[in-house]
Structure 1
Amino acid sequence: MAEVVREGASTGEKIIHGKPSGIDNTASAFGIMIQFRSGELIHIESSAPLRMLITNAKVGRNTKALVAGVSERASRHPDAMAAVFTAVNSISKELSTIIRSPALDDISVTAREEKVEELMEMNQGLLQCMGVSHASKLTGAGGGGCVLTLLPTLLSSTIIDKVVAELESSGFQCLKVEVGGEGLQICFG
Structure 2
Amino acid sequence: MTRDIELYVSAPGKVILHGEHAVVHGKVALAVGLNLRTFLRIRPRKDNTVSIILPNIGTKLSWDVSRLRTLLPSFQDAKDEPRSPSSEHLDGLKKFLGFPDGSTDTESLAVLAFLYLYLSICGRDLQSTEIVVWSQLPTGAGLGSSAAYSVCMATALLTSCGRIANPLQEGTETSRWTKKELDLINRWAFQGEKVIHGNPSGVDNAVGTWGGALRYQAGKIHPLERVPMLKILLTNTQVPRSTKTLVAGVKDKLLKFPDIMSPVLASIDAISQACERVLEAMAEGPSAAHYSVLEELFDINQHHLSVIGVGHPSLDRLCQVTASHGLHSKLTGAGGGGCGITLLRPDVDPAVVEAAKRELTGCGFQCWETSIGAPGVSVHPPSSVIEEVKQAFSAI
Please tell me the TM-score bracket, short chain as reference: 0.7 to 0.9
Structure 1 residues 156 and 138, CA, compared in 2 at 3 Å: closer, same or farther?
A: same
Which residue in the other structure is 1:61 paired with? 241
2:311 aligned with 1:118? no
**Closer, same or farther: CA 41–62 of 1 in aligned 2, 3 Å:** same
* Amino-acid identity (%): 34
Q: Does the aligned pair in 2 maintain the 1:31–1:179 contact within 8 Å?
A: no
5+ residue gaps, structure 2, are 1-8, 12-146, 152-188, 316-329, 391-396
Q: Matches of 1:34 and 1:118 in 2, distance apart?
A: 21
TM-score (norm 2): 0.41
Q: Take 2:209 and 2:353, find their aligned partners in 1: how far apart are those partners?
A: 25
Please list every run of 5 or more consecutive structure 1 residues that lacks an aligned counterpart in the other structure: none
Offset of residue 166 of structure 1: 4.6
Bigger RCO of structures 1 and 2 (CA < 8 A, at least 6 apart): 1
- 1:21-41 Cα shifts (integer Å, max 9, x gaps): 443453345422122222222
Whether contact under 8 Å (2:250, 2:309) holds in the other structure is yes
Q: Which residue of 2 aligns with 1:134?
A: 312
Deviation at 1:167, TM superposition (A): 3.4
Counterpart of 1:174 (choices 360, 363, 367) is 367
- Of Structure 1 and Structure 2, the greater helix share is in 1
Provide the TM-score with structure 1 as the length reference: 0.80
Q: Secondary structure at the match of 2:287?
A: helix
What is the 5 A alignment of 1:134-173?
Answer: 134-135=312-313, 136=315, 138-168=331-361, 170-173=363-366
Mapped contact 2:213–2:227 kept (Cα < 8 A): no
Per-residue deviation, residues 102-132 of structure 1 (Å, max 9, x unmatched): 3777xx5221111011101111111112112
Secondary structure of the corresponding residue to residue 59 of structure 1: coil
Tell me, yes or no, if structure 1 residue 72 matches structure 2 residue 252: yes
Tell me how far 1:180 sits from its aligned partner: 0.8
Going from structure 1 to structure 2, the CA distance change for 1:91 and 1:82 (only over 3 Å counts) comes to same
Q: Residue 24 and residue 177 in structure 1: after superposition, are their counterparts in 2 closer, same or farther (change >3 A)?
A: farther
Counterpart-to-counterpart distance in 1, 2:247 and 2:289 = 34
Paired letter, 2:215? Q
The Cα shift of 1:85 comes to: 1.5
Structure 1 residues 11, 94: CA separation in 2 closer, same or farther (over 3 Å shift)? farther
Q: Note if 1:88 corresponds to 2:271.
A: no
RMSD: 2.8
- Aligned residue pairs total 183
